[in-house]
A and B are shown apart, each in its own frame.
Chain A
Amino acid sequence: MLSHFLLMVMYALLVSLFFTILWRRERRAQIVLFLQLFFGMVGGGLIVAWLMYPFPSGPPAPIP
């Protein structure tokens, strides 16, 4: 439950579903918008994470 990626996917799923039902009526338009929103959020999150990878926010983790 505390996986960062899983939480991001769940968040994207909820928000995408919400806006799909709020903004579109036809089934085909709903599917298109859902896919755009969902993959836009998940893909955008992964891209931002990849760009931030060289810049860690804290000291390096101790070696066990």
Chain B
Amino acid sequence: MAETASSEKPPAAPPPFQTALAEPLPTPHQVMAMALAWLVPGLGHVYLKRAVRGLIFFALVMISLGIGISLQGNLYEPIRLQWLTYLATFGQACSGIPYFVLRYGFHYQGQQEAAGYEYGTAFLLTAGLMNLLLVLDARDIAGGRKE
């Protein structure tokens, strides 16, 4: 028994603490691409020298916003104790500058009585969520994880 114990290798040192979610911090280049992508839809791709795609994305997000506004969809703002409004506001605010121009520049809110209210809200939310995906895409491109 003593021989067996002496012939065994000492236990390997435990691996350094690492979680599956651990990722390096974004570089300044990535942060700039993400910020531009959030502020103006497609601008992050233009910054990353993908101008054509950036312009197409800009057009798609703005068309979605335009349809949502023309249908008098709801532009969310947080309402106390209504937690889903926080989530919806975050989703729409991902549109960047257009959201804040509509909210604070034109004081746009939507019209609940309008026939296209629900559809318009869906278009406005979709525009914000599309831009959120563009922000993440810009981060991946700037980090070299995507072409």
Contact = CB atoms under 8 A, between A and B. Distances in A.
Interface of B is mostly: helix
Contacts of A1: 70-71, 116
Contacts, number: 34
Interface stretch (A18-26, A32-40, A44-52, A54-62): A18-26
Given A22-B133, A22-B137, A25-B147, A14 B122 contact: no
Given A2-B116, A10-B67, A21 B57 contact: yes
Interface in B109-124: 115-116, 119, 122-123
Contacts of B70: 1
Interface string B99-133: 00000000000000001100100110010001001
Contacts of B122: 11
A21 B70 CA distance: 25
Residues of A in contact with B, size category: 10 to 19
Given A1-B70, A21-B53, A14 B119 contact: no
Contacts of A9: none
Contacts of B71: 1-2, 7
A21 to B, nearest CB: 6
Nearest to B64: A14
Contacts of B134: 22
Given A2-B116, A11-B126, A14-B60, 8 more contacts: A7-B119, A10-B67, A14-B63, A17-B56, A21-B53, A21-B56, A21-B57, A22-B137
5 contacts: A2-B115, A14-B64, A22-B133, A22-B137, A25-B147
Interface of B: 53, 56-57, 60, 63-64, 67, 70-71, 115-116, 119, 122-123, 126, 130, 133-134, 137, 147
Interface of A: 1-2, 7, 10-11, 14-15, 17-18, 21-22, 25
